[in-house]
Amino acid sequence: MDAHKSKRILDALETFRIELPSWGFANTGTRFGKFIQAAAATTTEEKFSDAGQVHLLTGVCPSVALHVLWDCPEGVHSTEEIKKFAERYRVLPGSINPNLFQDQEYKYGSFGNPDLLIRQRALQHTRDSIEIARRLHSRDISMWFADGSNYPGTANIRERKQWFTEAFRESHQALSPGQRLLIEYKPFEPAFYHTDIADWGMALLLCRAAGPQARVLVDTGHHYAAQNIEQIVAWLLSEDMLGGFHFNDRRYADDDLTLGSIDPYQVFRIFHEIHYFEWETGKRADIAYMVDQSHNLKGKIEEAIQTVTVAQELFSKAALVDGRELAAAQKNCDLVRAESLLQDAFATDVRPVIQEWRDSKGLPKNPMEAFRQSGYLERITKERAARNSRSVSSYA
Ligand code: RM4
Ligand code: MN
Ligand code: MN
């Protein structure tokens, strides 16, 4: 590879950071049950410890996303403890995810619940989450809703839209300067007839209504199978409304598989739209790159390392597309030339340059190998096995 290309990759790697989810280190499963892993994290502290390992070996995961219900059992009072974990394991608290879907009260919705008291409760939880974020110096509050309905005619869709609009406006008022409200959409599941925030357009309208610090969050698994996600990304970029991603891969629905495991070219095309935007505008897109995966079968820390490695590779490949050449080919309607610029970049083996970059940072060239040799997995397996074996789960 020529020096010019290597430099493009090295520059791209300097800017690329990925946030891992705390829940990716815990035992999670499907609605049919969980296969328990002896080494899974059983506490918030253990999640920080595992995330810290991934950051230690990859150097690009300085923060971990937290779910308030699962990671902050004492609400705002959990923040002092979390700060200690952050210091101990050298990984910062990242986006704060309020939990508006697990409590019994939310059976018929949270912001969209017909019961005013439950809507108020959901709003209060959101305000508390914003306060948690403020105390932890977290920038983003990331909101995902299970709200919706399962049967036609059972919900007033317009009224619920209005309730959502109001609740987001009020939530936005609680933000500190510099904080952001990220609104995530999803077309179905757990609601199977209508979901209140079903797509990026609905999320965008709610962001606009909420206020200037709201942005759309794109979870790659939250689309219909044939949807053109990179086009959504391009539109949100051009509107300055793209706040961040939840990366994962999928084959059928919201499968939460490892990034790039099914369709790496899809992820490449998303990264390409971002690089192209940055080249054209001369400014850095202000995007939180986060992972939202559920590691059911593979080892959790190994899957996190695999995800980060693949993300770096695809981001680097996309950085190889020359913006100037692409713009010229597009202008001349030279379709084959334009398309092959993407194809050639995608086909390039960027791994040697990424290894060079890691080496220059004092990081292991092969983080997976380094993890396997570190002894960390053996140690935590011993420490956590008994606790994990007590955790049982069944569907019915
Ligand atoms: C949802 C969505 C959210 C995540 C929950 C647990 O499908 O992706 O981001 O917080 O799952
Ligand atoms: Mn998500
Ligand atoms: Mn999801």
Q: Is there a contact between 327 and 321 (Cβ–Cβ < 8 Å)?
A: no
Q: Is the pLDDT of residue 393 over 90?
A: no
What does the pLDDT average to over 22-49? 93
What does the pLDDT average to over 33-50? 95
What does the pLDDT average to over 312-336? 98
Query: Is the CB of 256 within 6 Å of ligand 1?
Result: no
Angle at alpha carbon of residue 37, lines to 32 and 43, rounded to 5°: 100
Residues in Cβ contact with 396 at an 8 Å cutoff, skipping those fewer than 6 apart: none
pLDDT of residue 31: 82
- Separation between Cα atoms, residue 343 and residue 14, nearest integer Å: 24
Instruction: List, in sequence order, the alpha helices (H) in 239-349.
Output: 264-281, 300-319, 323-331, 335-347
Grouping H, G, I as helix, E, B as strand and the rest as coil, residue 151 is coil
Q: Is the pLDDT of residue 33 over 90?
A: no
Using the structure block, give the residue that is written with the tokens 């919201």: 254
Query: Which ligand 1 atom minimizes the distance to the CA of 254?
Result: 7
Using the structure block, give the residue that is written with the tokens 């080496």: 359
Q: What pLDDT digit, counting tens, does each position of 349-375 carry?
A: 999 999 999 999 999 999 999 999 999
Q: Is the pLDDT of residue 392 over 90?
A: no
Angle at alpha carbon of residue 280, lines to 275 and 285, rounded to 5°: 50
Query: Is the CB of 300 within 6 Å of ligand 1?
Result: no
Query: Is the CB of 313 within 6 Å of ligand 1?
Result: no
Q: Is the pLDDT of residue 14 over 90?
A: yes
Token pair listed for 162: 């209005």
Query: Is the CB of 254 within 6 Å of ligand 1?
Result: yes
Hey, which of 67, 246, 295 would you mutate to test ligand 1's pocket, going by the most ligand atoms within 8 Å of its Cβ?
246
pLDDT of residue 324: 98
Q: What pLDDT digit, counting tens, does each position of 250-296 carry?
A: 999 999 999 999 999 999 999 999 999 999 999 999 999 999 998 88
Query: Is the CB of 247 within 6 Å of ligand 1?
Result: no
Higher pLDDT, 394 or 328: 328
pLDDT of residue 394: 72
- Separation between Cα atoms, residue 216 and residue 81, nearest integer Å: 30
The percentage of the chain sitting over the pLDDT mark of 90, rounded to a whole number, equals 95
Closest CA to 43 of 78, 18, 19: 78
Return mean pLDDT, the chain.
97
* Closest protein CA for atom 10 of ligand 1: 144
Phi, psi of 304, deg, nearest 5? -65, -45
Query: Is the CB of 292 within 6 Å of ligand 1?
Result: yes
Q: What pLDDT digit, counting tens, does each position of 143-183 carry?
A: 999 999 999 999 999 999 999 999 999 999 999 999 999 99
Q: Is the pLDDT of residue 62 over 90?
A: yes
Q: What pLDDT digit, counting tens, does each position of 99-111 carry?
A: 999 999 999 999 9
- Separation between Cα atoms, residue 89 and residue 85, nearest integer Å: 6
pLDDT of residue 29: 85
Query: Is the CB of 71 within 6 Å of ligand 1?
Result: no
Token pair listed for 246: 């939840």
Query: Is the CB of 230 within 6 Å of ligand 1?
Result: no
Using the structure block, give the residue that is written with the tokens 């020529």: 2
Hey, which of 67, 68, 144 would you mutate to test ligand 1's pocket, going by the most ligand atoms within 8 Å of its Cβ?
144
Token pair listed for 267: 């992820």
Q: Is the pLDDT of residue 27 over 90?
A: yes
- Separation between Cα atoms, residue 45 and residue 26, nearest integer Å: 11
pLDDT of residue 316: 98
Q: Is the pLDDT of residue 117 over 90?
A: yes
pLDDT of residue 395: 74
Q: What pLDDT digit, counting tens, does each position of 175-210 carry?
A: 999 999 999 999 999 999 999 999 999 999 999 999
DSSP state letter for 243: E
Query: Which ligand 1 atom minimizes the distance to the CA of 21?
Result: 10
Query: Is the CB of 95 within 6 Å of ligand 1?
Result: no
Hey, which of 219, 220, 254, 257 would you mutate to test ligand 1's pocket, going by the most ligand atoms within 8 Å of its Cβ?
219
What does the pLDDT average to over 35-41? 95
What does the pLDDT average to over 90-98? 98
Confidence band (pLDDT; 50, 70, 90) for 1? Answer: confident
Query: Is the CB of 196 within 6 Å of ligand 1?
Result: no
